[in-house]
A and B are shown apart, each in its own frame.
Chain A
Amino acid sequence: MSPRHRVVLTAMGIVSPIGNGLAATVDSLRGGRPGIGPVTSFDVSQSRSKTAGLVKDLREPKNRREARWHRASLMMAAALEELREADGAFVPEACVIGTTSGGMTFGEDFFRGRKTGNGSDRDAQWIANYPPQKAVLDTLDLAKWNVPVEIIANACASGTNAVGRAMSMIRHGLCRRVLCGGYDVISELVFMGFDCLQASTDELCRPFDKDRTGLVLGEGAALLALENRDDAMARGADIVCEISGYGISTDNHHLTQPHPSGIGPRMAMERALAVAGREAAAVDYVNAHGTATVFNDGSEGAAITELCPGVAVSSTKALTGHTLGAAGAIEAVFCGLAIREGFLPPNGNFREADPAWQMDIVANVSREKALRCVLSNSFGFGGTNASIVMEAVA
């Protein structure tokens, strides 16, 4: 049995539809301001959904090399710069990043070029940017960090898997410091995919609402600096919170639908709490996966109701859209901010509670509350489920 070390979060960086940077993010979360707007980068005239959470005012390329970068690389670079500004002494030993579609927009461009006959062998640039690892390597290169990289593609759970995996590596002494996070960029293929499954809505995203009609997609990137707590304290690092638990489960019910009983989400949450050594009653707040689809919210709502009835719950996806592989990392940053600043992020566009569940939905308006123990959930296609426990440091 390997030793157990406590793991803390010392710095974060974020780019999301509700703001670039932590300060803008806190303002938007406290004010319940959404970042959803019309999709203009491809034709959505025939699709059911026409909106998404889009990153605005993204940092410009700073040199010729960056000018060739993928949008995801620029998002990741912005997140990294903020993280390093907060903790310039953090140097990771490994990097774990979640994503679902990587540089899919480059793949789309390549295909269209070949299909129309307008492509050329210079299209190698597109392909160089297509692999999901490209944005990650660009980011690490900025900081001159030559460390082992794991790119986790566990669908929409990827970001939480990345944070949880990083936590586990430090907890068990495989590493002392790990950079983790997630990213995804809106692409036509993925947008049309959710649209054709009728998982996307043509109106507002209303997580956990009785009359919810589906999700709105989003994009963004977030990075988190995780470190062995003793090391962080010894160097006087600013500790945001502790990451104390991680649970993963697989629900083999269906490739795109969770088991309605909520068994998959429940196992992930129970396992995360067990690692943290916490009872469910200790949880002050759940940042839910909460995509606002009938099936996801049904399964997650049932699981939360069974595990910790009456707990404060919100899904921030009404504000950001569902940022897929980035979602878990973005929401881990939201939870870190909520713990540090003492508030509950709101569940936007909420009208009426579904009577099937006992949850205290943080409806539309943020609440001031000191938080000690928080669960953050992410669930994905393929029946993959992940939860992390984040706690205030006494």
Chain B
Amino acid sequence: MKLEAAITGRAWVTPLGSDLAAVSAQIDAGVPGEIELVQDPLAKRPLRLMRVPSGLVAEVSRLPRLRRSSAISLYAVEAALRAVEMAGSAVGRTAVIVAVSSASVVYTHRFYRRIVEEGARGASPALFPETVHNAPASHVAAALGIDGASYTLVGDGTVGFSALHMAAGLLRMDEADRCVVVGAEEVDVITAEAYRTWRFGGVYSEGAGAVVLERAGGLKITTHPGTPFTTRTAAAAALDNVLDVMEAEPDLVVYGASAGEIGRLEQRELAARGLLGVSLRQSLGDALGAASLFQIIQAVNRLDSGKRALVCGLGINLQAGAAALYAES
């Protein structure tokens, strides 16, 4: 079942910066994000990572609650606060939905490493709370002063589409009047090595994208719940299933949440439908939990009035997802 809502605010924190117009222009120009080659004892080969410049979250990192938080929470809070600022004063109940893939993996890695090296006495009570998947959502809710619904969804590079669909559902069901949807990711060598082992083939990157959804008042978005698949052969059918019910003749297509074989399959399917548009991967890497929100935000940035956009992705191990956008004249 498709659902509709309106995007009234947006913001991102990316490896290329956080200014909406400047990053958008760099993506259009094909400016590649800076790739850091990392050698680590845990990795069998050098790892390719794309990181967010630390200065982008300097201000939120001084908030008392965030002084010890993981990078993913800083990205999520920064993006959420700026998206809400763009949307303006809230009316009624606000819900928070945060989409993650690897979640707070930096602290998880650090916490478990000390257990492996030192046993139980190495387990740090300062680290463990931040390893919990919903830590970023909790920090976003606290930063926005929200006492209502707060959800964390976990998935692959298309989990952001699921979060947008959940948000549109909460608005439709009158369980919220405004939803702040955040997609976030942080890089760590253990995850990068895991994806390398899995022949992921991409440049693992990080950051956060946030959009504010309301029932009306902004650019229209149509969300889709996504279609899962468990084998690569079923992935094409899953993408077909999603595309069949979404925007058929878009003026703009922003595709590509993933790298590797699944990404190539996605490109082939879209090309066969004449829908091969633009991908953000060269500029922003493979940001998994943040990827779908990056795509949505770039589509909003580039959508002229009266035009329609299709934003879609094929995740590496869960689902095909999509959303359609329409900018009213």
Interface residues of A (CB under 8 A from B): 1-2, 43-47, 94, 99-100, 102, 107-108, 110-112, 114-115, 121, 123-124, 127-128, 130-134, 137-138, 140-141, 146-155, 161, 165, 168-169, 171-172, 174-175, 188-189, 192-198, 248-252, 255-256, 264, 267, 380-384
Contacts and interface: CB of A to CB of B under 8 A. Distances in A.
Contact of A100 (B133, B175, B227): B133
- 6 residue pairs, one from A and one from B, having the closest CB atoms: A382-B138, A148-B225, A196-B123, A46-B120, A153-B133, A193-B128
Interface string B119-154: 111011100111111110111011001111111111
B154 A151 contact: yes
Contact of A153 (B124, B134, B230, B318): B134
Interface of B: 1, 3, 42-44, 65, 96, 100-101, 103, 108-109, 111-113, 115-116, 119-121, 123-125, 128-135, 137-139, 141-142, 145-156, 162, 165-166, 169, 172-175, 190, 193-195, 197-199, 225-230, 238, 317-319
A194 B101 CA distance: 23
B142 A252 contact: yes
Contacts of A161: 151
Which of B125, B134, B146 has the most A CB atoms < 10 Å from its CB?
B134
A382 B135 contact: yes
A195 to B, nearest CB: 6
Nearest to A123: B197
A7 to B, nearest CB: 13
A175 B3 CA distance: 12
A141 B238 CA distance: 14
Nearest to B149: A248
A14 B67 CA distance: 41
Contact of A172 (B148, B173, B199, B238): B173
B318 A137 contact: yes
A112 B153 CA distance: 27
Nearest to A108: B112
Given A94-B225, A111-B109, A133-B156, A149 B194 contact: no
B197 A124 contact: yes
Nearest to B169: A174
A59 to B, nearest CB: 20
B43 to A, nearest CB: 8
A121 B108 CA distance: 22
B121 to A, nearest CB: 6
Given A130-B194, A131-B317, A384-B134, A153 B153 contact: yes
B312 to A, nearest CB: 15
Contact of B131 (A151, A189, A195, A267): A189
Contacts of B153: 150-153
Nearest to A172: B173
28 contacts: A107-B112, A110-B194, A111-B42, A114-B190, A133-B156, A137-B318, A148-B162, A148-B227, A148-B228, A149-B162, A149-B226, A152-B151, A152-B152, A153-B100, A153-B103, A172-B169, A193-B111, A194-B128, A249-B147, A250-B146, A250-B148, A252-B147, A255-B65, A255-B135, A255-B138, A382-B134, A384-B137, A384-B138
